[in-house]
Chain A
Amino acid sequence: MRESGPIKQRQSGASSASIGVWAIGALAVLSSLALAALPGESAPAVRMWTFARLHKQLYDPIIATWPERTRPDIALLSFPALERRMLQGFLAESATADLIEAERKVAARAFMGPLESVGYVDLTDRLKSEGLLEQINTASFSPWSSRGRIFGLPHDVHPVMLGYRADLVEAAGIDVSTIETWDDFVREMAPLMSEKGEDGKPKRYLLNLWPDREDFIEVLLLQAGGGYFDEAERVRIATPVNAHVISTIVSWCYGPGRIAADATDFTASGNQLKAEGYVVADFMPDWMCNVWKNEIPQLKGKVKLMPLPAWTKGGRRTSVWGGTMLGIARTAPNQDELWSVAKRLYLSPELARSLYTEGDIITPVRSFWNDPVFDQPDAYFAGQRKGRAYINLAPDVPTRTSSPYNLLAKLRVQTAVIALATYAESTGRSRPDQLEERAMMLLQAAEDQVRAQVDRNVFLSQPSPTNASKTGGGA
């Protein structure tokens, strides 16, 4: 009798458990049936992904009046989420959005494999037959061109100017119109560094730049005609131009010729240093104007823009930084209709206008450059007509590579610049001419590393130099 208690309990437990299991099973079946019976949401006709809140805010009012059949349903994804979903879709050939707006680094990931496996629709023939290659700024196609084919409609041009603290520069009696080259810049602006702080160091430096800023390094290399890949998308890092540029960068950051300091972008501390005038000038692609307006509003009316000083007299006065495209997913149905939607959105005059008024970004569509909106004075930039200033530089923007290895190359060159800086600091040899030989060695090491990585890719066959140069591909 004493032993039967627990046994009974176990039996009753087992029996109630089986009832529970049946109940859960029944509920699962019923709820599944109920869900299956519910009317599903109708899928939108055109799905689009973007990573930029501003872009979505600009597109929504434009597409609001479109017929529902062609109106894209725009989803805002975080940068990494868009990258992952796009790649998963492309690699597994599964569904993605029909239209994907991708930034340069993300779009390049699609060019890693065989040409026939690029997840975006090849737009080359459509662009040619419709005359769009002539209508759009040529350099803007280069980041979306791989092995001679174009896979995206450009969103922007992103010329780079130099933003400078006009209040400080003008108070010192410096006339920036006399500055044509980087040598002029260093010489003319030098008085701004004469005031010293408690630690005996200058209270301000002329340029926001540091050897670990790979974006700035790329801006300066492209401006000088250098870069990481040639027109045929072959690795070309150890070149005399690149060696000269990185030697100059290091000479600006170390030694008696130091003019640069680090005020990191997109950080509170960097913004504080900019607001305090710790750095006088900064690299400003058009989109960066909007970042400054939002993040450092206290500088309104104190900042002006000037073309980048050239590396040599008569040289290029601008560079390029960033970029976005709109591509059509290869797995999407109705590609002709999607092409019409893409053109209607990206080539609309309303977008060109709002892109500038809301985002300070100039359109790559040349015919819109006459819009008077670009001639309006901008109060943040002390009344300068900055739209016109950027447009004047747009045709000179350098072409860039679309290589999926560009990021790797940027990081390897950054490593080379840091190593060169360490060398300059430890040896006291900080003049460009003293550094160039060492720079060449370090760049050669960087080139070997990148080439080893590229050569490992058995899918990326050597492109045809003729095709690549035709579309402006390559740096």
Chain B
Amino acid sequence: MSASPAATRWAPWVLLAPFLLISAIFLVYPIGQSIALSVQQTFGPAHSRFVGAANYRNVVADPLFWQAVRNTLLYTAGSMFVQLPLSLGLALLLDRPGLRGRTVLRTIFFAPVLVGVVFVAMIFGVMFEKRTGLVNQALHSALGWDLDFPWLQRYVVPALIVASLWQYVGFNMVYFLGALQNVRRELIEAATIDGAGAWRRFVHVIVPQIRPVATFIVLLSIVGSFQIFELPYVLLNGTAGPDNRGLTIVMYLYQMGFDQGDLGYASAVGWLLATILIGFTLVQRRFGGELPRRARA
């Protein structure tokens, strides 16, 4: 027995209806509202004034926003150029044939990911304390380091990079390890027979094969780094730190939206952040080789 033409025509829409409805309510409508909000100033639903592009103009003119961008970029660069190479290095180490205790080591490196960000922030907050903190105490014992070295006063972004390095290096390592384990062994063997050394094998055989995964990890890392909020927020007791040295873009958005109650302004910041992220994604995909060839012409 075949279904009636009407049923066939409507069936996909009926099946899609829950998804479309939920998307419309929780995705499309809020996105539309946030665009509308970004050109208004509001005080609750009862009071709103259209201010045009003033919110965007004010964000761009605010030196604090650019400080937040600078801090976020520094943190992102730290994640990209410190964390990812270290993750790849650990993955290469664990991928060595005949390595004993691989599972145990993998678990150890991955374990910090299971710890909540808030907990990590609190632990590192105590570790980076002046005089009594573990970091200064250890460095003082080993190198005569200044006990008053102000990690959380002056070197907030490096402290954030170290804390997130501890937490996420194992997470990225697992992705790299998965990719490395899918590298075709016969190609490595062939390259070895052809006389390629370890470096040339890595650059010319391994890297091209793990490139899709690496591209994904880089993208994930950039997006995650740009959205950093909880770690500095808890580490710096809900502030942006002395001299706003721990201010990130999302913290700036939070401060303006929720501390200052300027939701329109915060929406404008959110859209600027989205624009930056879309830009990064396009650039990254362009150089990651995922855009159509004609786009390169």
In the assembled complex, which residues on chain A have CB atoms less than 8 Å from the CB atom of B243? 212, 414-415, 418-419
Residues A256-277 near B (CB distance < 8 A): 262, 267-269, 272-273
* Min CB gap A281→B, angstroms: 18
As a 0/1 sequence over residues 168 to 201 of chain B, the CB contacts with chain A under 8 angstroms (1 = contact) are 0000000000000000000000000000000000
* B239 contacts A by Cβ under 8 Å: yes
Binds B, one of A112-120, A122-130, A170-178, A181-189: A112-120
* Min CB gap B14→A, angstroms: 15
Q: Take A456-B265, A457-B41, A459-B41 as given contacts and tell me if A408 and B260 are in contact as well, using a CB distance cutoff of 8 Å.
A: yes
Q: Report which A residues bind B (CB closer than 8 A).
A: 87, 90-93, 109, 112-114, 117, 199, 201, 210-212, 262, 267-269, 272-273, 278, 404-405, 407-408, 411, 414-415, 418-419, 449, 452-453, 456-459
Q: Take A411-B239, A415-B243, A453-B260 as given contacts and tell me if A458 and B49 are in contact as well, using a CB distance cutoff of 8 Å.
A: yes
Q: Is the CB of B129 within 8 A of A267?
A: yes
* Min CB gap B130→A, angstroms: 6
Q: Is the CB of A113 within 8 A of B47?
A: yes
Q: Is the CB of B43 within 8 A of A112?
A: yes
5 residue pairs, one from A and one from B, having the closest CB atoms: A91-B44, A113-B43, A212-B242, A269-B132, A418-B243
Q: Take A267-B129, A269-B126, A272-B132 as given contacts and tell me if A415 and B244 are in contact as well, using a CB distance cutoff of 8 Å.
A: yes
In the assembled complex, which residues on chain A have CB atoms less than 8 Å from the CB atom of B244? 411, 415
As a 0/1 sequence over residues 226 to 261 of chain B, the CB contacts with chain A under 8 angstroms (1 = contact) are 000000000000011011100000000000000111
Q: Is the CB of A262 within 8 A of B130?
A: yes
* B153 contacts A by Cβ under 8 Å: yes
A239 to B288, CA, bound (A): 55
| Additional A-B contact list (17), CB under 8 Å, known A408-B259, A459-B47 | A91-B43, A91-B44, A91-B45, A92-B45, A114-B43, A117-B46, A199-B146, A268-B132, A273-B132, A278-B131, A404-B261, A414-B243, A415-B242, A415-B243, A452-B62, A456-B41, A456-B265
Q: Is the CB of B261 within 8 A of A112?
A: yes
* B147 contacts A by Cβ under 8 Å: yes
A408 to B244, CA, bound (A): 12
Residues B33-71 near A (CB distance < 8 A): 41, 43-47, 49, 51, 54, 58, 62-64
Residues B128-158 near A (CB distance < 8 A): 129-133, 146-148, 153
A104 to B51, CA, bound (A): 30
A415 to B63, CA, bound (A): 13
Pull 24 A–B residue pairs with CB atoms less than 8 Å apart, ordered by A.
A91-B44, A92-B44, A109-B261, A112-B261, A114-B43, A199-B146, A199-B147, A210-B153, A212-B242, A268-B126, A269-B131, A269-B133, A273-B132, A407-B259, A411-B240, A414-B242, A414-B243, A449-B63, A449-B64, A456-B265, A457-B262, A458-B51, A459-B43, A459-B47
* Min CB gap A320→B, angstroms: 21
In the assembled complex, which residues on chain A have CB atoms less than 8 Å from the CB atom of B44? 90-93, 113, 117
Q: Is the CB of B47 within 8 A of A117?
A: yes
A286 to B146, CA, bound (A): 35
In the assembled complex, which residues on chain B have CB atoms less than 8 Å from the CB atom of A418? 153, 242-243
In the assembled complex, which residues on chain B have CB atoms less than 8 Å from the CB atom of A419? 243
A211 to B58, CA, bound (A): 29
**What is the chain A residue whose CB lies nearest that of B54?**
A456
In the assembled complex, which residues on chain B have CB atoms less than 8 Å from the CB atom of A113? 43-44, 47
A418 to B239, CA, bound (A): 15
A273 to B62, CA, bound (A): 39
In the assembled complex, which residues on chain A have CB atoms less than 8 Å from the CB atom of B130? 262, 269
A272 to B51, CA, bound (A): 52
* Min CB gap A420→B, angstroms: 11
A113 to B259, CA, bound (A): 14
In the assembled complex, which residues on chain A have CB atoms less than 8 Å from the CB atom of B46? 91, 93, 117
In the assembled complex, which residues on chain A have CB atoms less than 8 Å from the CB atom of B242? 211-212, 414-415, 418
* Min CB gap B99→A, angstroms: 41
A105 to B58, CA, bound (A): 25
A418 to B132, CA, bound (A): 22
In the assembled complex, which residues on chain A have CB atoms less than 8 Å from the CB atom of B261? 87, 109, 112, 404
* Min CB gap B248→A, angstroms: 15
Q: Which of A201, A212, A278 has the most CB of B within 10 A?
A: A212
**What is the chain B residue whose CB lies nearest that of A263?**
B131
Q: Is the CB of A269 within 8 A of B64?
A: no
Q: Which of B129, B242, B265 has the most CB of A within 10 A?
A: B242
A272 to B132, CA, bound (A): 9
Q: Is the CB of B43 within 8 A of A117?
A: yes
A457 to B130, CA, bound (A): 39
Residues B69-127 near A (CB distance < 8 A): 126
In the assembled complex, which residues on chain A have CB atoms less than 8 Å from the CB atom of B63? 449
**What is the chain A residue whose CB lies nearest that of B256?**
A453
A92 to B265, CA, bound (A): 19
Q: Is the CB of B58 within 8 A of A458?
A: no
* Min CB gap A330→B, angstroms: 12
A104 to B130, CA, bound (A): 30
* Min CB gap A278→B, angstroms: 8
In the assembled complex, which residues on chain A have CB atoms less than 8 Å from the CB atom of B41? 456-459
In the assembled complex, which residues on chain B have CB atoms less than 8 Å from the CB atom of A405? 260
* Min CB gap A344→B, angstroms: 31
Q: Is the CB of A456 within 8 A of B47?
A: no
In the assembled complex, which residues on chain B have CB atoms less than 8 Å from the CB atom of A112? 43, 260-261
**What is the chain B residue whose CB lies nearest that of A211?**
B242
In the assembled complex, which residues on chain B have CB atoms less than 8 Å from the CB atom of A269? 126, 129-133
**What is the chain B residue whose CB lies nearest that of A415?**
B243
In the assembled complex, which residues on chain A have CB atoms less than 8 Å from the CB atom of B131? 269, 273, 278
Residues B193-216 near A (CB distance < 8 A): none
